[in-house]
Structure 1
């Protein structure tokens, strides 16, 4: 009787303990993801205050993305070898300190170095966060709900970054102290990151460590290979695929990654064990998560510009325009976490990717007319944007939860960190590649239409007024963005095809624990 009473009392305590563990992991993941976009709106202010050359300004964003994307595999493996909670905490502390340095930066070099250091901290914390969910929460509904929250944080982070960045940038004082608003977009991370790291030992258990097994040659070749690949892809989006440094960077990255894969087959303790990809369901999840974020980034990148440039929204109003996406994705993730207990992941993710493809197709139909004289057309938020923003939100909510679950399902305990690192890497590299491909097709469309407009004006011998030029630029941008949305819909359909064909795991199997080599009894 006493034992039963003790068990009854410990159940709520355990539930509260898991609840706080999820809060810490979610806050960390949200902070890491939103930092990719939170400074976007602040870029003009950063350029002015630190006197950064326009051609170097993009490094404020890409510097973070490069460090984050190239170090994720190493960060995931370090968690497996030296303790996931320890690496999670170290990553958060580095992230917090880097944010402080960036917020107090008085020169371009200091800010760019701080952004790269933030990327390092994120690369340590993010895969550890996902791995901690897989190892802290028991298989079944509890883990499904935890993954739903994690997926929601990953999905809404970019939108929250735009909203928070717009609000913070508009501030000129805090607690009576004068401060440039853009600095707050970085400084806000410091207390949150440090506090989360300090609370981690209380609510998160440490994993078994395996010091001395770090594959140093694999770490060097894998990290440098990813750095070359991500840099080349990012550069292609601004300088073109034929640019010399784009080609050199991509070639070097692919050569190093090939060397990395050859090395991994010969070492006793590889950084990236081949067995991680041996499971067809897991491999399919990685591949689908490569294409899906690439398409989703199109919405944030081009739609945020369209709302501000063509529709004339302020930065804060543009951020508010994405609030329905945040709300819709959180609701959809919650629904998906319940449905995954009764419906196979292939069905949920398959329907979700089709919904997202439909949303991108809807965005591609934004009103524009590139004929001459130009028509002053603007999309209406309620009729032309909101329905597709919500459709995209529900589609990604239905996609992220099952794919995140299946990506780490039945991994060996010692591989959970690297498995999480692979998933994050696929998202980052896929997003960078997708954005560069979308940027290429959008830029080509804009350049072609711009040349046509100039030639037509010269042929007619009629000068274009400033008002007409502005209208023309708006319509040309919309035409280019529409082509990008159309390509994004195609990428999402590829993700859907991969999901429907290869994601064969049953929902009953997700309620089981243990590595794939262990026998699985499906009820």
Structure 2
């Protein structure tokens, strides 16, 4: 059952896109503030990394559950619960007096994001039916996603300089409240699809995903083995539930070739995307000597390229522009790898930033659309959860892999190795989409 399109689609999309902006913003805004967090709370490097990892793991591992709850309980209701948790956790993170409470608040923030993100995308897919309107809406979705990553770096430096590290968490609270209020006022309540949540499957899937990501980030083989076993048990349970006509967490009808390949490609894109936003500002500060605010300001061309490309993407043929966009992303990353240690932003970083940003914007919009192609309205929340899971966990695993590559090289060579590895991933993703995407799309 679908929700009638509200008469004011623009304000509805703005409210929901703000939620997506906040989800992406919270992944990147803390990066520039980490040295101040370490000094303020006296954190060693190992503990400091969990200020980032707690959010990423909770968000990525719980997205499937969030997507299923959005379908079972209703998207607007799940969105409201998730946004409330996200806002309260953001406030708590900025008030945290020690590392344990800060990490716990970040995990709660990630859990709230896992509820609200698939529900928000599910509402977009319900409000904007297939056609030009949905294409334009997904273009906006891609634009704010890209802008959120770049704005996080910019705001992180600015707010830390002006008011200290707690401000990077507190800034999201009024925006979250505004998005929640607007969504409740503008979006009609959608009737729940009914059914139940496979909590046993949810626990095994969440535990398996956490185990795999922790294994990559911490180099823990036992966690990796446990993750594989739990995911294997999850797959067997979903298959058994599907045969018995009960409610699996991931119904087999969503495992058709098109959405599966789109989500795999989205995971690879996430690895490159998050890696770029992590390593580019670090390269600028640690190699080129830029300050936090300067590093943030010079992310604006990258954000602008993502925004413009996302707006143009719905007007382009899907298969051809998707393959070309991923190839452009690979070329931009390879270009970045050639930047000298004494380079400048205009001469060595501006061009590749624009090229990579255009590739990200177009690829994100098309892969999001492909992941939802042919999905019934009743499954829109879960479809949103799947595509967000793919991007977030792909980013977590990809960033860990790029970090391992960079650690094997000294000085600027580590950054070049990370950019080259990311370029190779983007090139392989381009080839993958060329061979798996239908030529009629």
| TM-score above 0.5 | yes
Q: Which has the larger Rg?
A: 1
Equivalent runs, 1:368-517 vs 2, <5 Å: 377-446=341-410, 477-504=411-438, 506-507=440-441
Counterpart in 1 of 2:230?
Answer: 256
Counterpart in 2 of 1:82?
Answer: 73
Q: Which residue among 21, 39, 57 is the counterpart of 1:30?
A: 21
Change (3 A) 1:111 1:135: same
Does the alignment pair 1:101 with 2:92? Answer: yes
Superposition deviation, residue 492 in structure 1? 0.5
Q: Is the 2:6–2:186 Cα contact (8 Å) retained in structure 1?
A: no
- Determine helix, strand or coil for the equivalent of 1:495: helix
Q: Is the 2:80–2:180 Cα contact (8 Å) retained in structure 1?
A: yes
Counterpart in 2 of 1:136?
Answer: 127
Counterpart in 2 of 1:329?
Answer: 306
Superposition deviation, residue 349 in structure 1? 0.7
* Aligned mates of 1:123, 1:189 — CA distance in 2: 16
* Aligned mates of 2:157, 2:398 — CA distance in 1: 25
* Aligned mates of 1:117, 1:322 — CA distance in 2: 28
* Aligned mates of 1:222, 1:265 — CA distance in 2: 14
Counterpart in 2 of 1:116?
Answer: 107
- Determine helix, strand or coil for the equivalent of 1:36: helix
Structure 1: runs of 5 or more not aligned: 1-12, 173-180, 237-245, 368-376, 447-476, 508-523
* Aligned mates of 1:20, 1:81 — CA distance in 2: 26
Counterpart in 2 of 1:269?
Answer: 247
TM-score when scaled to structure 1? 0.80
Q: Greater relative contact order: 1 or 2 (C-alpha under 8 angstroms, separation 6 or more)?
A: 2
Q: Which residue among 262, 282, 300 is the counterpart of 2:277?
A: 300
Superposition deviation, residue 36 in structure 1? 0.8
Q: Is the 1:91–1:122 Cα contact (8 Å) retained in structure 2?
A: yes
- Determine helix, strand or coil for the equivalent of 1:208: coil
1:61-111 deviation digits (Å, cap 9, x = unpaired): 111111101101000100010001111111100000001111111122211
CA RMSD of aligned residues (A): 1.5
Q: Is the 1:287–1:498 Cα contact (8 Å) retained in structure 2?
A: no
Counterpart in 2 of 1:224?
Answer: 207
- Determine helix, strand or coil for the equivalent of 1:170: helix
* Aligned mates of 2:430, 2:54 — CA distance in 1: 31
* Aligned mates of 2:421, 2:398 — CA distance in 1: 9
Q: Is the 2:284–2:295 Cα contact (8 Å) retained in structure 1?
A: yes
Superposition deviation, residue 503 in structure 1? 1.1
* Aligned mates of 2:149, 2:223 — CA distance in 1: 27
Counterpart in 2 of 1:356?
Answer: 329
Superposition deviation, residue 210 in structure 1? 4.0
Superposition deviation, residue 153 in structure 1? 1.7
- Determine helix, strand or coil for the equivalent of 2:166: helix
Structure 2: runs of 5 or more not aligned: none
* Aligned mates of 2:162, 2:32 — CA distance in 1: 13
Superposition deviation, residue 201 in structure 1? 2.1
1:136-166 deviation digits (Å, cap 9, x = unpaired): 1122111101101111222222211000111
Aligned length: 433
Change (3 A) 1:436 1:286: same
* Aligned mates of 1:206, 1:258 — CA distance in 2: 37
